[in-house]
Amino acid sequence: MISAVIFDCDGVLVDSEVLAHEVETKVLASIGLHYDAQEFKARFMGLSDKAFLTALEVDGVARLGRSIIAEIREPLEAGYRQAIEERLVEVPGALTDIKAVRHAKAVGSSSTTKRLEEKLRKVGHWDHFAPHVYSSEHVTRSKPAPDLFLHAANGLGINPAHCLVIEDSVMGVRAAQAAGMRVWGFVGGSHNDDRSRAALRDIGVDRIVEDWRQAGPLLVSL
């Protein structure tokens, strides 16, 4: 029995993953750190900002022979801010369908608390989740550890076994599975492709949902 639905944010509620990847790869290329687009998405999507920067620092030292955090932090922040302000939109259909969900609901995202609120307010989602909006900053261990989703379930007062998670990343799916929750793999964000779909299917999601046109009626019927 499902009593609550916990939504990832980036790539599920807001179409931000494609913007983030664009900003990140551009900034990294500018300092000489280049990645294959598919490799980049598979390796980093779903990580908290802290874990992402830590991994980039390791790559910078290994591949460029120097620390890179000081030179990429501000360009990344500036790029994110501009992309959110100028180009961020919701994943098509998200607002209509989250408003129709009868169960308790929350957001569980690897974004920082500040940026998560900025994105959700920008697309008009914030008031439909607050105060149950949980970021990686609420827990010690971020995805793929189960802590964030367990924290969200506790905030809602719902047994984790009665929670359904909507996720678009392998990291997030692993976190939901480790939390003992059901999880659907969502591939409606514009960053997704056949490889994304296959990766989610291979990790054992309960089902793949293609977009909000499919996900909405399924959630209402729970």
pLDDT computed for residue 121 by the predictor: 97
Domain that holds residue 26: 17-87
pLDDT computed for residue 110 by the predictor: 93
pLDDT computed for residue 42 by the predictor: 87
d(CA 66, CA 186): 37
Tens-place pLDDT, residues 164-198? 999 999 999 999 999 999 999 999 999 988 899 99
Q: In sequence order, which residues have a C-beta less than 8 Å from that of residue 82 and are 6 or more positions away?
A: none
Domains contained in the chain, number: 2
pLDDT computed for residue 179 by the predictor: 98
What is the overall mean pLDDT for the chain?
95
H-state helical runs in 45-146: 49-59, 69-87, 94-100, 113-122
Per the listing, tokens 């308790």 go with 104
Both 37 and 113 in one domain: the answer is no
pTM for this prediction: 0.93
Q: Which residues of the chain have pLDDT under 70?
A: none
Q: In sequence order, which residues have a C-beta less than 8 Å from that of residue 93 and are 6 or more positions away?
A: 188, 211, 212, 213, 216
pLDDT computed for residue 192 by the predictor: 87
| Bridge partner list, 4 | 104, 163
- Out of 87, 115, 144, a domain closes at 87
- Encode burial over 142-155: b for 16+ CB neighbours within 10 A, e otherwise: bbbbbbbbbbbbeb
Tens-place pLDDT, residues 77-107? 999 999 999 999 999 999 999 999 999 999 9
186: tokens are 């969502």
Both 46 and 65 in one domain: the answer is yes
